[in-house]
A = this chain, B = another copy of it.
Amino acid sequence: MASETQAGPGGAPALPLPPMAWDAWGDPALAKPLSDDIRGLLAAALGVSPLDGDRPTAAEIRLRPSALTGEDVAALAAVVGPEHVSTADADRLPRSGGKSTPDLLRRRSREPQDAPDGVVLPGSEEEIAALLAVCAERRIAVVPFGGGTSVVGGVDPVRGALAAVLSLDLRRFDRLLALDAVSGEAVLGAGVTGPRAEELLAEHGFELGHYPQSFRFATVGGFAATRSSGQDSAGHGRFDEMVRGLRVVTPAGTLDLGRAPASAAGPDLRELFLGSEGVFGVITAVRLRVHPVPAVKIHEAWSFPDFATGAAALREVEQQGTGPTVIRLSDEAETAVNLAMTERIGGEQVTGGCLAVTVFEGTKEQAEARHERTRAVLLAAGGTPLGAEPARAWEHGRFNAPYLRDALLDAGALCETLETATDWANLGRLKDAVAASLQSALTAGGSSSLVLCHISHVYPTGASLYFTVLGAQQDDPIAQWDAAKRAVSDAIVGNGGTITHHHAVGTDHRPWMDAEIGDLGVRILRAVKETLDPAGILNPGKLIP
Given A254-B520, A524-B532, A266-B505 contact (CB < 8 Å): yes
Q: Name the distance in Å between A322's Cβ and chain B's nearest Cβ.
A: 9
Cβ–Cβ < 8 Å partners of A5 in chain B: none
Main secondary structure of the interface of A (DSSP, over half): mixed
- Interface: A59 (CB within 8 A): no
Chain B residues within 8 Å of A524, by CB = 269, 272, 528, 531-532
Return A540 CB to nearest CB of chain B, in Å.
15
Complex CA distance for A262 and B503, rounded to whole angstroms: 12
With an 8 A cutoff between CB atoms, is A33 at the interface?
no
Q: List 21 A-B contacts (CB under 8 A).
A: A180-B423, A185-B461, A226-B264, A238-B262, A253-B520, A260-B421, A260-B501, A261-B421, A261-B463, A264-B501, A265-B275, A265-B500, A265-B509, A266-B275, A266-B276, A266-B505, A266-B516, A267-B271, A267-B274, A524-B528, A528-B528
Q: How far is the CA of A400 from the CA of B490 in the complex (A)?
A: 53
> Which of A35-43, A165-173, A491-499 lies at the interface?
A491-499
Number of interface residues of A (CB under 8 A): 90
List residues of chain B with CB within 8 A of the CB of A525.
266-267
Cα A528 to Cα B523 with chains together (Å): 9
Q: Which residue of B lies closest to A420 (CB)?
A: B260
Copy number in the complex reads: 2
Residue A464 interfacial (CB < 8 Å):
yes
Which residues from chain B contact A238 at a C-beta distance below 8 Å?
262
The answer, yes or no, to whether A252 is at the interface (CB within 8 Å) is: yes
Q: Which of A373, A422, A463, A520 has the most CB of B within 10 A?
A: A520
- Asked whether, in the complex, the Cβ of B460 is within 8 Å of the Cβ of A184, the reply is yes
Query: Contact at B184–A461, with CB atoms within 8 Å?
Result: yes
Partner of A257, one of B229, B275, B289, B517: B517
The answer to whether the Cβ of A291 comes within 8 Å of any Cβ in the partner chain is yes
Question: Is A273's CB within 8 Å of the partner chain B?
Answer: yes
Residues of B within 8 A of A528 (CB): 267, 524, 527-528
> Does A342 count as interface, using CB distance less than 8 angstroms?
no
Give 5 new A-B contacts, CB below 8 A, not counting A183-B426, A184-B460, A264-B501. Answer: A183-B423, A250-B520, A267-B271, A267-B275, A269-B517
Tell me whether A498 and B268 are in contact (CB under 8 A): no
How far apart sit A266 and B272, CA to CA, in the bound complex (Å)?
Answer: 8
Report yes or no: A260 in contact with B527, Cβ–Cβ below 8 A: no
Whether, in the assembled complex, A57 has its beta carbon less than 8 Å from a beta carbon of chain B, the answer is: no
A405 CB–B CB distance under 8 Å = no
Asked whether B421 lies within 8 Å of A497 as measured between CB atoms, the reply is: no
Residues of B within 8 A of A532 (CB): 520, 524
A250 contacts which chain B residues (CB < 8 A)? Answer: 520
Contacts of A373 in B (CB 8 A): 369
Chain A positions 247-306 with a Cβ under 8 Å from a chain B Cβ: 250, 252-257, 259-277, 289, 291
Q: Which residues of B contact A255 (CB under 8 A)?
A: 517-518, 520-521
Q: How far is the CB of A69 from chain B (nearest CB, A)?
A: 31
A462: interface (CB < 8 Å)? yes
Partner of A227, one of B184, B263, B320, B531: B263
Q: Map CB proximity to B onto A145-189 as digits: 1 under 8 Å, 0 otherwise.
A: 000000000000000000000000000000000001011110000
- Knowing A267-B276, A323-B321, A520-B250 touch, does A262 contact B464 (C-beta < 8 A)? yes
The CA of A266 and the CA of B274, in the complex, are separated in Å by: 7
List A489-545 residues whose CB lies under 8 Å from chain B: 496-505, 509, 513, 516-521, 523-525, 527-528, 530-532, 543-544
